[in-house]
Chains A and B, each alone.
Chain A
Amino acid sequence: QSVLTQPPSVSGAPGQRVTISCTGSSSNIGAGYDVHWYQQLPGTAPKLLIYGNNNRPSGVPDRFSGSKSGTSASLAITGLQAEDEADYYCQSYDSSLTESLFGGGTKVTVL
């Protein structure tokens, strides 16, 4: 069980909007630490998708957006495309554990 909890899977039809939650606690997301999101396509290394809660690196489509509120963060994908089928991971820092943590990952399936 990860300290940062993500749903194991989400799915949606092409063109739909899906959201992935990352639920933490008062010692990580709720303490004000930033959340980053990574996309991992099958057989490849993770790729930075969102940093600092809601910032997109250059080259990441604006279909991807991040938000944070309280002890949770979310990644939204609008206009879902077949190429978005991947695993998505959130990352933050926990002051009690004194380490950087990843969520357990969410598999996005495009129906």
Chain B
Amino acid sequence: QFQLQESGPGLVKPSETLSLTCTVSGGSISSSSYSWGWVRQSPGKGLEWIGNIYYGGNTYYSPSFRSRVTISVDTSKKQFSLKLTSVTAADTAIYYCARRADYGGNSPLPIDYWGQGTQVIVSS
């Protein structure tokens, strides 16, 4: 069955770069019907969309993160990744990787699969 699994450090120091990887299993990562992205959840700010990478490599980032974020994909490994630079305590959150499905409707694309989430704490 289709699954997404996040991996990466659970503790990052302030001012450093947060790096997470999401591994896709049970399905293809190379399809124009889907895009791949990241959402985070913190007690203070609820769910926040970070950005997506589309089939063909185009990326779209939330304006809130645009200056600090990079999302990339490695189709050979069936993985996509998140890099968030210059982190602060405000970046402490559960980070979810997600698949968005093109159902033929209007924006936004719904997230039909979520990873289980990984807790990242920013602290020295």
Q: Give the interface size class of chain B.
A: 20 to 34
Looking across the interface, which residue of chain A has its beta carbon closest to that of B117? A45
Q: B88-108: contact bitstring with A at CB < 8 Å (1 yes, 0 no)?
A: 000000001000000101111
Which of A18-26, A70-78, A97-105 lies on the face that meets chain B? A97-105
From B48, B62, B115, contact of A45 by CB (8 A): B115
| Cβ-defined partner of A102 (8 Å) among B46, B63, B64, B105 | B46
A-B contact pairs, 14 of them (CB 8 A): A33-B106, A36-B108, A46-B114, A48-B111, A51-B105, A52-B110, A55-B103, A91-B108, A93-B107, A99-B62, A99-B64, A102-B47, A105-B46, A105-B47
Q: B55 at the A/B interface (Cβ < 8 Å)?
A: no
Q: Which of B47, B64, B103, B105 has the most CB of A within 10 A?
A: B47
B106 near A34: Cβ-Cβ < 8 Å: yes
The interface residues of chain A lying within 8 Å CB-to-CB of B107 are 33-34, 93, 100
Number of interface residues of A (CB under 8 A): 28
Residues A100 and B108 in contact, CB atoms below 8 Å apart: yes
Total inter-chain residue pairs, C-beta < 8 Å = 67
For window 68-124 of chain B, which residues contact chain A by CB distance below 8 Å? 96, 103, 105-108, 110-112, 114-117
Residues of B within 8 Å of A91, CB to CB, are: 47, 108, 110-111
Q: Is A16 an interface residue (CB 8 A)?
A: no
Please, which residues of chain B bring their CB within 8 A of the CB of A45? 96, 114-117
Q: Which residues of A contact B63 (CB under 8 A)?
A: 97-99
A7 CA to B80 CA, complexed, in Å: 35
Do the beta carbons of A51 and B46 come within 8 Å of each other? no
